[in-house]
Amino acid sequence: MPDKTFKLQATYPTSKARLAELNMLHGKVQTPIFLPVGSQATVRALTPQDLEEIDIKMILCNSYHLYLRPGVEIIEKAGGLHKFMSWNKPILTDSGGYQIFSLSSFRKITPDGVVFRSHIDGSEHHISPENAVYLQEKLGADIIMVLDVCPESTAKKEQMASAVAYTTEWAGRCFRSHGDNGQLLFGIIQGGLIPELRKLSAKQITAIDFPGYAIGGLSLGESKSSMWEIVDRTVELMPEDKPRYLMGVGSPEDIVDGIGRGIDIFDSALPTRVARNGALYTRNGRINIKHAVFGDKLIPIEDSCGCFTCRNFTQAYVHHLFKCEELLAYRLATIHNLFFMNSLVSEIRESISAGQFPAFKQKFLASYHVTDEDKRIEQKIRSVEAKRKKGDKDF
């Protein structure tokens, strides 16, 4: 990978937090960075102009969903994903491995890839590692991902070992099939919650000279302590001179914690999904704007917030929109949550640059009320199961 692609700019002596610049086809971004999820070439409820005004620098789209609908051919004819969705900044596309392998009753793993049935119409499809890369190359994303096997974190050891073996074999095939077109192909480390399998996967995947590496298969209902133990073990085995991407993790407290553990890139549909359900982020934790207590509050969601929603509307108004089920509620709530996430990561980057990240982390976590652990796990498991059944767009 050329030296200019990922350039470390600052680290902190007593923390693994780091500041870097990632250079891609559609521009440079500063890391650490959080990517909103736009699975179907749109961040739900928002326009590209909304994202620009929030100052979002990069988003994630999903090749599984785009392959099924509208089809990669249509997007290619439109001039690629950026032109199709009118977004001129960097895009990362997931290979769809997580979505495909979550359809346990609709797919079959073979040495040549995976055969699966569409959650939309039941039609049968086959995607090989080479085809997964080919499709993402046609989409034209800046960062593309290998096809991997992502089993449940509770899978038996023999199932997890098989997943690691397939992931390694397919990663090599993806790497060999990827053309020299400027797109960055990232490898994915699997292994669930089994330390020796994570170590094996990390060793095998990092032996392939990918320009970046991701940690997959976490945030699937396991405890936070289990997740962070695996992240710590895995980060120790990842190169320091290449970006580290923790897939599917994106609550505010996890962003702060993950950056302190050496993670550079995060993505999650959580901020936008909870926004559509009325859960809004503040520096003291999440509030449910649909609760009656907010019905007469003629103040912003958060006084210190500079987002479009807080500059123009009150808690009472947003509460009213949700109670009436007006579509504007989802847009205003989503704008606020993404502004919160983007501002949080921007402040973290500033704290790393100033050598003050540990103090920032301590102050943030001291005031931010985290969702109860047991309740969070229960909600996560229920959410994952529901999305499996209906092939949710954010899944």
Chain segment 43-80, per-residue pLDDT in tens: 999 999 999 999 999 999 999 999 999 999 999 999 99
pLDDT score of 1 more than 80: no
pLDDT of residue 395: 46
* 254 catalytic per annotation: no
pLDDT of residue 152: 86
pLDDT of residue 146: 98
Give the number of other Cβ atoms within 10 Å of residue 211's Cβ: 18
DSSP 269: S
Q: Which of 94, 148, 257, 394 is catalytic?
A: 94
Please give the class, per CATH, of domain 6-269: alpha beta
Residue 154: pLDDT band (50, 70, 90) is confident
Please report, as a single letter, which amino acid is at residue 72: V
Mean pLDDT across the chain: 93
pTM for the whole structure: 0.95
pLDDT score of 375 more than 90: no
Structure confidence by residue, pLDDT tens digits, 111-152? 999 999 998 999 999 999 999 999 999 999 999 999 999 988
pLDDT of residue 2: 44
101-105, 118-122, 177-181, 299-303: range with lowest mean pLDDT: 101-105
DSSP characters for 63-130? HHHHHHTT-HHHHHHTTSHHHHHT--S-EEEE-SHHHHHH-GGGEEEETTEEEEE-TTT--EEEE-HH
Structure confidence by residue, pLDDT tens digits, 207-242? 999 999 999 999 999 999 999 999 999 999 999 999
Please report, as a single letter, which amino acid is at residue 150: C
Give the number of other Cβ atoms within 10 Å of residue 268's Cβ: 23
Structure confidence by residue, pLDDT tens digits, 308-343? 999 999 999 999 999 999 999 999 999 999 999 999
For residues 60 and 63, what is the distance between their CA atoms, to the nearest angstrom? 10
Structure confidence by residue, pLDDT tens digits, 11-47? 877 789 999 999 999 999 999 999 999 999 999 999 9
Q: Which of 257, 267, 392, 394 is catalytic?
A: 267
* 267 catalytic per annotation: yes
Give me the sign of the Cα torsion angle 364, 11, 270, 218. negative
Residue in the structure block whose two tokens are 């292994």:
191
- Domain ranges in the chain are 6-269, 275-374
For residues 313 and 320, what is the distance between their CA atoms, to the nearest angstrom? 11
